[in-house]
Structures are given as structure tokens and as C-alpha cells.
Amino acid sequence: MYSGLPRNWRVLGARGVLAILFGCFALTRPGMALPVLVLGFGVAVLLSGILAIVAGVHAGENDERSWPLTSEGVIAVAVGLLALLRPEAAARLWLYVVAGFVFVSGILHIFAAIKLRRDIRDELVLIVNGVLTAAFGVLMILLPWAGLLSLAPLVGASSLCFGVLLVVVAFRLRARWRARHAGN
């Protein structure tokens, strides 16, 4: 069964570019206040969630389910709205929300990579992305005060790596999509 993800390589690439932009923003503004970081995170995650849902719906229109992508999109939209609607929430609570989102996102990327085995070779990039993302979420929970003190650079670095890996996967999916449709 064909997963439909190669057809949505542009959406995955856009999510990667968005993550790279947010990562650069967080890394180049080390003195920014936590509320600014929360709002920036909220916007980036909300947009990323919308793009993930769009990709999942496109796959679903052709009876090609992509539940990891759609699930991540719904969770991302919820987390993004929470960050935008309640930016005054306690920093520690926000850290746990971010850590939880990062952990769940990493696990869902591992599931997506397993599903992609049928569509692309070397899906290991997405598995590595998922493992590193999930591990980062666990570290944020285990070391909350260290996480708060270094939240901007940690979130920025994580987002930057996440974005680069998504762009790599998007280009691999594009190559797969073109190869599949070259004979048509």
C-alpha cells in the first residue's frame, strides 16, 4: 500500500523551512523574554500543525491514511493555540507543554518513518530525527530548571535540527514521487 506521503513532499518541506526559521529566531535572540519565545513558538507550531493536517487530509482523500502526520498536526494546533491564548502561563508549565509536545512529535516521527519504509530507502534520517526529538523532550522534563535557563537556545537548536531533517526527508520524498511518476 502506498502511503501518499511522497505526494505531500512540499508540505513537509514547508514545515521544515518554518522550523528552521523559528530555530534561527530563537538562536539569534538569546536575551529575549520568555513570553516572546512562547508567542513565537505558538505561531510556528500552529502553522506547522495546520500544514501537517493538510498533508494528512490530502493523503486521506485517496484512501492513503497518514495518521501519524494528522495526529501530530492536531496536537501541534492544540499546543500552538494554548501558547498563543495563554502566554502568561507559568514558565515551568510551558516548559512541560513544550517537552510533552517534543516527545510526542518524536514518537510520531518514528512511526511515520516506519510507514515510509515502503516509499523511500534510508528512512533512518526520520527515525534519527524522532529519537533525538523524543530524547530532547525527556531531557527537558528531567532537567526543568536547566531547561528554563536555556530554553531559547535549546528550543532553537532543536527546531533548527528538526527543520533541516524535515527538508532532507522532503527532498527524498520528492525524488521518490518523481521516480514513481516518471513513466506516466
Per-residue pLDDT reduced to its tens digit, 23-44: 888 888 766 666 777 788 888 8
Q: Are 69 and 58 in contact (CB under 8 A)?
A: no
Phi first, then psi: give them for residue 2, nearest 5 degrees: -85, 130
Q: Tell me, what's the pLDDT at 107? A: 92
Task: Quote the mean pLDDT of the chain.
Answer: 79
pLDDT in tens, 98-120: 788 889 988 988 888 887 777 77
Instruction: Report the percent of the chain where pLDDT is more than 70.
Output: 80
Q: Tell me, what's the pLDDT at 36? A: 75
What is the Cα–Cα distance from 68 to 112, expressed in whole angstroms? 6
Q: Are 160 and 120 in contact (CB under 8 A)?
A: no
Q: Tell me, what's the pLDDT at 9? A: 81
Of 143, 178, 169, nearest to 19 by C-alpha is 169
Q: Are 13 and 166 in contact (CB under 8 A)?
A: yes
Q: What are the grid coordinates assigned to 70, written together?
A: 494528522
Q: Is the dihedral of CA 133, 138, 143, 148 positive or negative?
A: positive
Widest pairwise Cα distance in the chain: 56
Whether 74 shows a pLDDT value over 90: the answer reads yes
Burial class, 56, CB count within 10 angstroms (exposed 0-12 / middle 13-18 / buried 19+): buried
Burial class, 78, CB count within 10 angstroms (exposed 0-12 / middle 13-18 / buried 19+): middle
Better-predicted residue by pLDDT, 119 or 184? 119
Across 100-114, 118-132, 133-147, which has the greatest mean pLDDT? 100-114
